[in-house]
């Protein structure tokens, strides 16, 4: 931690998310971004025929029922998200997104555009950096969906969002991005994207890597529906 951070803490500039430090920083928001860096790794890729989301769910206790540990969340038939950071925060945002998507379907009788949903979720995140009484959300979401074409967005604790062709979040973010930067191709199929994502996670996890640690999903252009990855499908893609 830098000397300036320590002095700002001693002066109390990090006691509220609404308080600016003398050099124009919101320290509580910066702490939330650091929390994301401590979360388990996740990545997303846009492919020519769909989108891929993959995450390391890192089950630490033998007696936990692995199928109940969820890092990839379905939001609507055509939209899904993966989280890094405080997963309980992610669950709240995902539930809000699910309600928004269903309200849109009921009102307009069509699936919601992922771009509109990303903006609405980021508005909620931004509110928690501006008003007192609550801390910022300590989670980043990769949100992927298919409407007229596959799209992938990153939302961070500040309420900023960016669209990506492929990216990663979590503790091994930098190593995963380096692999994606060198090996990602825009004309990849979903199966090829899944294989690249798994290879990337395998490199960063090393001996700890196993299929049991993976959570993932795909949305293909052909049916525009979210499918959670199974071991059988993964093994088929790896052949």
* Containing structural domain, residue 35: 23-238
As to burial, measured by CB atoms within 10 angstroms (0-12 exposed, 13-18 middle, 19+ buried), residue 206 is exposed
Q: Is residue 222 part of a domain?
A: yes
Q: Each residue of 94-146: pLDDT tens digit?
A: 999 999 999 999 999 999 999 999 999 999 999 999 887 888 999 999 999 99
Q: Each residue of 168-188: pLDDT tens digit?
A: 999 999 999 999 999 999 999
**Which tokens go with 58?**
């890192």
Of 85-89, 170-174, 194-198, 207-211, the range with the lowest mean pLDDT is 207-211
Q: Is residue 158 part of a domain?
A: yes
Query: Which CATH number characterizes residue 131's domain?
Result: 3.60.20.10
Look at the block and give the residue holding tokens 């992938």.
152
Q: Is residue 42 part of a domain?
A: yes
| Model confidence band, residue 230 (pLDDT cutoffs 50, 70, 90) | confident
Q: Each residue of 145-158: pLDDT tens digit?
A: 999 999 999 999 99
Which helix (H) or strand (E) element contains residue 152?
strand 150-155
Query: Distance between CA 115 and CA 161 in Å, rounded?
Result: 10
Q: Is residue 5 part of a domain?
A: no
Report the candidate in 186, 164, 194 with the shortest Cα–Cα distance to residue 177.
164
Query: Distance between CA 175 and CA 173 in Å, rounded?
Result: 6
Q: Structurally, how many domains does the chain consist of?
A: 1
pTM across the whole model: 0.91
Query: Distance between CA 145 and CA 147 in Å, rounded?
Result: 7
């Amino acid at each position: 931690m830098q000397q300036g951070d320590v002095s700002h803490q001693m002066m109390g500039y990090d006691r509220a998310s609404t308080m600016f430090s003398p050099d124009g920083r919101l320290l509580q928001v910066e702490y939330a971004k650091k929390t994301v860096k401590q979360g388990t790794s996740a990545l997303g890729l846009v492919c020519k025929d769909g989108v891929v989301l993959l995450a390391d769910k890192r089950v630490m206790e033998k007696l936990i029922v692995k199928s109940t540990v969820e890092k990839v969340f379905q939001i609507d038939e055509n939209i899904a998200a993966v989280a890094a950071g405080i997963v309980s925060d992610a669950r709240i945002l995902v539930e809000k997104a699910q309600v928004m998507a269903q309200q849109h379907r009921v009102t307009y009788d069509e699936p919601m555009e992922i771009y509109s949903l990303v903006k609405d979720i980021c508005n909620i995140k931004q509110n928690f950096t501006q008003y007192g009484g609550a801390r910022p959300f300590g989670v980043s979401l990769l949100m992927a969906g298919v409407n007229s074409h596959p799209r992938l967005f990153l939302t961070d604790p500040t309420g900023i969002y960016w669209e990506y062709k492929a990216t990663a979040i979590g503790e091994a973010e930098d190593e995963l991005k380096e692999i994606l930067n060198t090996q990602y191709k825009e004309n990849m199929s979903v199966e090829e994207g899944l294989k690249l994502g798994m290879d990337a996670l395998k490199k960063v996890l090393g001996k700890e890597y196993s299929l049991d640690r993976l959570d993932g999903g795909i949305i293909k252009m052909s049916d525009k529906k979210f499918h959670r990855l199974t071991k059988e499908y993964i093994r088929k893609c790896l052949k």
